[in-house]
Amino acid sequence: NAGVTQTPKFRVLKTGQSMTLLCAQDMNHEYMYWYRQDPGMGLRLIHYSVGEGTTAKGEVPDGYNVSRLKKQNFLLGLESAAPSQTSVYFCASSYSGQPHMNTEAFFGQGTRLTVV
Amino acid sequence: DAKTTQPNSMESNEEEPVHLPCNHSTISGTDYIHWYRQLPSQGPEYVIHGLTSNVNNRMASLAIAEDRKSSTLILHRATLRDAAVYYCILRDHPNTDKLIFGTGTRLQVFP
């Protein structure tokens, strides 16, 4: 099992450029999440999805869009990148089962994005 | 969403027990207490979770106060590999599907 795979691992963008980050999971999880982590800080939730075809806003959604067309994939888009979006982006997925079950979230290794 | 409060940093010596505290005074009855940790340059990984009773697994133990307003993650014998940022998170099953991280506690382990 690959778990949660993020593509790409590194990217440098110029201000105003657009790009899409791909998150793929092979665990048949319903829930998927996108976070950003700035240096020395905790993770902040950007958007999340509770199932195929659904998305919802997290704590810091502005400047980002997401899509969940297939259950295994969760895409994060930056339409017009800004230097403030320089960060490490993490994707995660989890099972949505009953709370007494193990609903741990599995994280990818991160995408380091620099906007210049 | 209920908030958690953790110390910014803690230190331990190798092979000593470590008790990482978390306050969650506004916890609701349906909030589960989850702990994750993030090793340097890696994504977070799950450690343990619980509702009311103390929990043990191969990585750690979770002690939950009787009033549930606080909890403690216990690493029984710290190793150098346990140096990480530890996050205490409240997850409200099944009323919300968000997984909100705070700032966590940075644990340093000295040889």
Give the A window 47-106 contacts with B, CB below 8 Å.
48, 50, 56, 58-59, 90, 92, 94, 96, 98-100, 103-106
At B9-25, the pLDDT tens digits run 999 999 999 999 999 99
Q: Is the pLDDT of residue A10 over 70?
A: yes
For residue B39, give how far its alpha carbon lies from the nearest alpha carbon of chain A (Å): 11
More confident of the two residues A95 and A59: A59
pLDDT at site A115: 97
pLDDT at site A40: 81
SS3 string, B29-51, reads CCEEEEEEEECCCCCCEEEEEEC
pLDDT at site A102: 58
Tokens of residue B44, six digits: 């977070």
Write out chain B residues lying below 8 Å of A27, CB-based.
none
The one-letter code for the residue type at B26 is: T
Give the mean pLDDT of chain A: 92
CB neighbour burial string for B3-39, b if at least 16 within 10 angstroms, e if fewer: ebebeeebebeeeeebebebbbeebeeebbbbbbbbe
pLDDT at site B103: 85
Q: Is the pLDDT of residue A31 over 70?
A: yes
At A42-77, the pLDDT tens digits run 899 999 998 999 999 999 999 999 999 999 999 999
Write out chain B residues lying below 8 Å of A106, CB-based.
46
Write out chain B residues lying below 8 Å of A96, CB-based.
94, 97
Cβ-Cβ pairs closer than 8 A, A with B, add up to 62
Residue B86, strand partner residues: B37, B105
pLDDT at site B32: 87
